[in-house]
Amino acid sequence: MLETKKYVLTVEGETEQWYFTWLRDQINGFEGRTYNVSIVPKVQQSPMSFYKGTNSKVTPEVIHICDVESTDDDHIEKFENILKEMKEADRQKKIKYQLGYSNFTFELWMILHKKDCFGPFNSRKQYLAPIQQAFGEKFENLDHYKQESAFKRCLEKLSLNDVKDALRRADKIAEQNVKDRKKLVNLCGYSYYRNNPALSINEVVKKIFTECGVLPKRK
């Protein structure tokens, strides 16, 4: 009987919640896993709203999944306020937060499961075409893609191997950002790139995969 590792996630929206629920089921169906996983993704955009009602002895670590959204000042301010709230969780409640961000949005991570998406975009709407190509769908717009039946149809076309491909492509983006000497912003113990594409949600998935035996542990 395998032990169970528990991961508590706060996410911005339902698509992220559906994705991590799907990921949990995929891991628990993988014969080579060394642990079962309990992934509890709760839709909660504000870390502060979540940690104020959380006992650090029960939940000492939380993963927060969020988007940068754009380079607009209001979006950057909102994103950086989230980082400040995550830092406050440690100071006030001794709850450690891990950041899993996407720049611009979570759609970047979904596309990477099926294809490269290495060029910068000017608008979040530009994710629609590569989403269509990646999943062989004809969504009217991104709101259509985010409907439960449509999004879960995309999930049905994915496997753990696709997630591993997304990890590999995300690593390429990180390597290119370093090569291009893009500015890495450091705030409250967290780092992010203001320019897209960039992400750290892959590090969250990589951590879960490694700890549960889906990926070999790093030497």
DSSP annotation string for 28-75: HT-TT-SSEEEEEEEE-S-HHHHHTT--TTT--EEEEEEE---SSHHH
Distance CA 55, CA 96 (A): 12
- The amino acid sitting at 118 is F
66 assigned to some structural domain: yes
Q: Once rounded to an integer, what is the mean pLDDT over residues 85-92?
A: 96
The secondary structure of residue 101, as a DSSP letter, is E
Token pair, residue 81, equals: 């306020």
Owning domain of residue 44: 4-212
Band of pLDDT at residue 46, cut at 50, 70 and 90 = very high
Band of pLDDT at residue 178, cut at 50, 70 and 90 = very high
Distance CA 129, CA 167 (A): 21
CA angle at 6 for the pair 58 and 68, rounded to the nearest 5°: 95
pLDDT at 217: 83
pLDDT at 141: 98
Q: Once rounded to an integer, what is the mean pLDDT over residues 74-102?
A: 97
Chain-wide mean pLDDT for the chain? Answer: 97
pLDDT at 218: 74
pLDDT at 219: 62
pLDDT beyond 90 at 24: yes
pLDDT beyond 80 at 28: yes
218 assigned to some structural domain: no
148 assigned to some structural domain: yes
Q: Once rounded to an integer, what is the mean pLDDT over residues 36-54?
A: 95
What is the count of structural domains for the chain? Answer: 1
175 assigned to some structural domain: yes
H or E element in which residue 202 lies:
helix 201-212
219 assigned to some structural domain: no
